[in-house]
Amino acid sequence: MDRELLLLGLLRREDMHGYQLTEFINRNLASCVDLKKPTAYYLLDKMVEAGWITRSEEQEGSRPPRHVYQITAEGEAVFQHLLRENLSTHHPARFTDDIGLALLDALSPQEAIPLLERRRAALAAELEQARVIPPHSGAWQYVIDHLVSHLAAELDWLENLLRRLAEGPPAPEG
């Protein structure tokens, strides 16, 4: 329900059409949400069916008509509910992408270290970039801060891992 929450949150600020919604999200919130265009249209359709939003055609000049969405009273109620639920619960993060770490023992440290070095470089670059993002106004900033703090933690952890690997294999000593 998190993407629905986001779409409702944007539509309650102002009416928007589908393309505008996805562009906005992918430009401003790419760091925390990945919402493909077809998925957005799919969700919007479902929300129309559920009565949370309505769709109307907007003709502008000679352009093909666009579908503009607006939130309903019921949608606003759902938004209020979803937002409270979302804020009050902790969603355990999943790190599926990092599963390679569990299989690290398939490689020797000599092989693993250069690979992880490359990862460290990419991560450091992303962190630097995230820190440079100009301070947005209001709540957007929370999302960036949040991201930055996780990237920093990841970098710390990775550097620590590299140190441990360099020091030698975790031989079971007795």
Can you tell me which of 5, 12, 15, 17 binds DNA, judged by CB under 7 A?
A: 17
89: Cα within 13 Å, side-chain hemisphere: 10
Question: Given the complex with a copy of itself, which of 18 and 158 has the nearer CB atom?
Answer: 158
Shortest Å distance, C-beta 163 to a copy of itself: 13
Token output for 29? 């919130």
Which of the residues 116 through 145 are near DNA (CB under 7 A)? none
Q: How far is the CB of 28 from a copy of itself (least distance, A)?
A: 9
Of positions 34, 117, 128, 156, contacts DNA by CB under 7 A: 34
Shortest separation between residue 40's beta carbon and a copy of itself, angstroms: 13
Virtual CA dihedral for 27, 31, 32, 34, nearest 10 degrees?
60
Please count the other Cβ atoms lying within 10 Å of the Cβ belonging to residue 35: 18
24 binds DNA (CB under 7 A): no
Question: Are the CB atoms for 40 and 53 separated by under 8 Å?
Answer: no
**Given candidates 67, 119, 120, 150, which one binds DNA under the rule CB under 7 A?**
67
The stretch among 18-26, 73-81, 152-160, 162-170 that binds DNA (CB under 7 A) is: 18-26
Contact between 82 and DNA by CB under 7 A: the answer reads: no
> Is residue 37 a contact point for DNA (CB under 7 A)?
yes
Local structure of 55: helix, strand or coil: strand
What is each CA distance from 37 to 19, 23, 33, 62, 118, in whole angstroms?
Answer: 7, 9, 12, 24, 32
Binding-site ranges for DNA (CB under 7 A): 17-20, 22-23, 34-39, 41-43, 46, 61-64, 66-67
